[in-house]
A and B are shown apart, each in its own frame.
Chain A
């Protein structure tokens, strides 16, 4: 195993955990609820990043993955009275299995078309949820009154933060191994990775499975926090857009970037609420994201390190080792 855990990085992670755990003592419930939303978005964005940020296989179908997890656990617990301790793992499992069966053929095709197939999947599933077994899925109206895991903003804050923290830390460690190098290399030149004697299909499938696992966890837990689901909110281009934008403006293929991006986006939205209450917020999001993507494709995280380095008077290029490199450009 590579030398992943430097003293400095471990200290930073601990510091991060301590600061975030202290927030409930300092902030009100409203603030905590915003944080919870941000944490779930961060989970989706990291899930997207593991697959798309690294390998360049851009998934436009992440809402579809999140949706499988969400629907599976919601239906099992709400319609069949299954306890959450069983329905949530089954929901996550369903995401991995369902996602793999459907996406596996798509991983054989080239990047650009992969995005389109996943987009088609999302629209397909949206239309199917409305017509196939509406007695289970709740049709267009979805399901509400879903059992919650725990009550109160503080409990849910710790639960969702715990999930995000574990996922972020594990993915970060995983991507610092040679596996991370190999996945980034696929994004740069897949043929050349094959030319190194590596079965890229296997690697992509692994990245996909990890991505589906994380998306499934996010989906399954979030539905028991929000208590309801509706197909139009789930299988929606705006939802897809929020996930991708969070990952991109944070800094794709860094894991930490998408987490920062999700927090940034959610809080930006909250503080813009007095001025732009509705869907218009996507207008501002989108413009910010587009400009950042066009002119600073490495995202906020890289900008942060550049500033830190400038402050220390170090050469800016030395950050390349610590932040790794963005795969999607």
Chain B
């Protein structure tokens, strides 16, 4: 029981980190960025290349991975999303194509075998018979710090408030003098950066492979759908529901079924309560 509690808590932290960048874009741009998972892949591969192939210090690898993520987010906004002008279906299709392009780009450079990403933080602690890897512990602590910081940024800084304003009413924000273009660029960059951090931790928790973007994307989608319209707190709660559900399923039923329940949750919630557990104004 302790095991489920501790592992569930840590995994949920990781999932919250994965989902938050996706939620952010969804609430500001109202678009589903299906290439979101590719940020995680990019971040993880950049980190892997710099730290494990070039033997750079871990912190430098992390910083550069984040920078690449932010750049990718910015480019995606500039080259793709802006041109499609808010057409949700077109963005969905083109970001899916983009994700496949990036996946094959990774295959082209790193070939398609899976790779092990060494733990970012070494060491384990035993607590009440439960093994806790410091790596996952760091990941969940990091995710709490990042989420806290993000909430602070959005609620209490000028730029954060502008983001909030755009997410509520783009036209209204524009009329009140918010530079929506700047807000959009920044949000896409933050989203990319968050994705990259999440990717490094996610890869060290699982492994590195060109198709590693699918699972986190589905987790992010599940969180957004189940949580209702891009509220960060709603996402946090749902990330915990999914995290604990997966750990419970793999502990009590069978590890191979853990993904099945996440999928059933998405389908079930969308079909039965199209507004999500925490409400969404319109679907």
Chain A in direct contact with chain B (Cβ < 8 angstroms): yes
A245, closest chain B residue (CB): B97
Q: What's the least CB distance linking A225 to chain B, in Å?
A: 26
Contact between B104 and A283, CB atoms less than 8 A apart: yes
Query: Min CB distance, B75 to chain A, in Å?
Result: 13
- A-B contacts, CB under 8 A, total: 126
Q: Could you tell me if B92 and A241 are in contact, using CB atoms closer than 8 angstroms?
A: no
Contact for A290 among B32, B98, B266, CB less than 8 A = B98
Assess A241 versus B100: contact at CB under 8 Å? Given A117-B270, A123-B263, A131-B256: yes
Q: Determine if A113 and B283 form an interchain contact, defined as CB atoms under 8 angstroms apart.
A: yes
- Minimum CB–CB distance from A238 to chain B (whole Å) comes to 7
By a CB distance below 8 angstroms, the chain B residues around A131 are: 254, 256-257, 260
- A interface, how many residues as a size bin? 35 or more
Q: What mask results when residues 91 to 118 of chain B are scored 1 for a CB within 8 Å of chain A, else 0? A: 0111011111101110110001000000
Give me 22 A-to-B residue pairs in the complex whose CB atoms sit less than 8 angstroms apart, sorted by A's number. A109-B283, A120-B222, A120-B263, A121-B263, A123-B214, A123-B263, A127-B259, A127-B263, A237-B99, A238-B100, A244-B93, A279-B107, A282-B101, A283-B105, A283-B107, A287-B101, A290-B98, A293-B97, A294-B80, A294-B94, A297-B90, A329-B89
CB–CB A124/B267 < 8 A: yes
B104 engages A111 (CB within 8 Å) = no
A106 to B259, CA, bound (A): 20
Query: Quick check: A121 and B87 within 8 Å, CB to CB?
Result: no
Cα-based distance from A283 to B266 in the complex (angstroms):
30
Is the beta-carbon distance between A130 and B263 smaller than 8 angstroms? no
> Which residues of B are at the interface with A, using a C-beta cutoff of 8 A?
32, 80, 83-84, 87-90, 92-94, 96-101, 103-105, 107-108, 112, 210-211, 214, 218, 221-222, 225, 254, 256-257, 259-260, 263-264, 266-267, 270-271, 274, 283
Q: Which of A115, A120, A289 meets B218, CB within 8 Å?
A: A120
Contact A109 B270 (CB under 8 A): yes
Complex CA gap A286/B222 in Å reads 26
**Is residue A35 contacting chain B, with contact meaning CB distance below 8 A?**
no
Q: By the criterion CB–CB under 8 Å, are A110 and B283 in contact?
A: yes
Instruction: Give the Cβ gap from A232 to chain B, nearest Cβ, in Å.
Output: 10
In the docked arrangement, what's the CA distance between A134 and B173, Å?
Answer: 55
Point out the residue from A56, A111, A127, A287 that lies within 8 Å of B260, measured CB to CB: A127
What CA separation (Å) do A127 and B87 show in the bound complex? 32
CB pair A58 B214 closer than 8 Å: no
Which residue of A is nearest B282, CB measured? Answer: A110
- CA distance in complex: A241, B90 (Å): 14
| Residue ID in chain B nearest A281 by CB atoms | B104
Q: Which of A123, A124, A289, A297 contacts B97 (CB 8 A)?
A: A289
Q: Which residues of A contact B221 (CB under 8 A)?
A: 116, 119-120
Q: A58-B89, A109-B274, A117-B270 are in contact. List 17 more A-B contacts (CB 8 A).
A: A110-B283, A111-B89, A113-B225, A115-B32, A119-B221, A121-B267, A127-B260, A127-B263, A128-B260, A131-B254, A237-B96, A241-B100, A245-B97, A278-B107, A282-B100, A289-B97, A290-B94
Residues of A within 8 A of B (CB): 56, 58, 60, 105-106, 108-113, 115-117, 119-121, 123-124, 127-128, 130-131, 237-238, 241, 244-245, 248, 278-283, 286-287, 289-290, 293-294, 297, 328-329
In the complex, the answer to whether A106 meets B270 with C-beta atoms within 8 Å is yes
How far is A235 from B58 in the complex, measured between Cα atoms in Å? 37
**Which one of B99, B103, B263, B274 has the greatest number of beta carbons of chain A within 10 Å?**
B263
- A279-B104, A282-B104, A286-B104 in contact; A120/B97 too (CB < 8 A)? no
Task: Give the residue of A58, A278, A286, A289 whose beta carbon is less than 8 angstroms from that of B92.
Answer: A58
A120 to B221, CA, bound (A): 9
How distant is the Cα of A90 from the Cα of B89 in the complex, in angstroms?
34
Cα–Cα, bound, A237→B100 (Å): 8
Expressed in whole angstroms, the minimum distance between the Cβ of A65 and any Cβ of chain B is: 15
Q: Would you call B84 and A244 a contact (CB within 8 A)?
A: no
Beta-carbon nearest neighbor of B108 in chain A: A280
A89 to B174, CA, bound (A): 57
Q: Which residue of A lies closest to B112 (CB)?
A: A279
Asked if residues B214 and A106 are in contact (CB atoms below 8 Å), the reply is no
List B contacts of A278 (CB < 8 A).
107, 112
Minimum C-beta distance from A246 to chain B (A): 12
| Chain B contacts for A111, CB-based, 8 A | 88-89
Taking CB atoms, residues of chain B closer than 8 Å to A56 are 89
Interface centre among A105, A115, A121, A279 (most CB of B within 10 A): A279
Q: Are B84 and A294 in contact (CB under 8 A)?
A: yes
Chain B positions within 8 Å of A128 at CB level = 260
> Min CB distance, A41 to chain B, in Å?
16
Expressed in whole angstroms, the Cα–Cα distance for A265 and B101 within the complex equals 15
Which residues on B sit within 8 Å (CB–CB) of A282? 100-101, 103-104
B131 to chain A, nearest CB (A): 26
- A58's nearest neighbour on chain B, judged by CB, is B89
For B225, the chain A residues whose CB sits under 8 A away are 113, 116
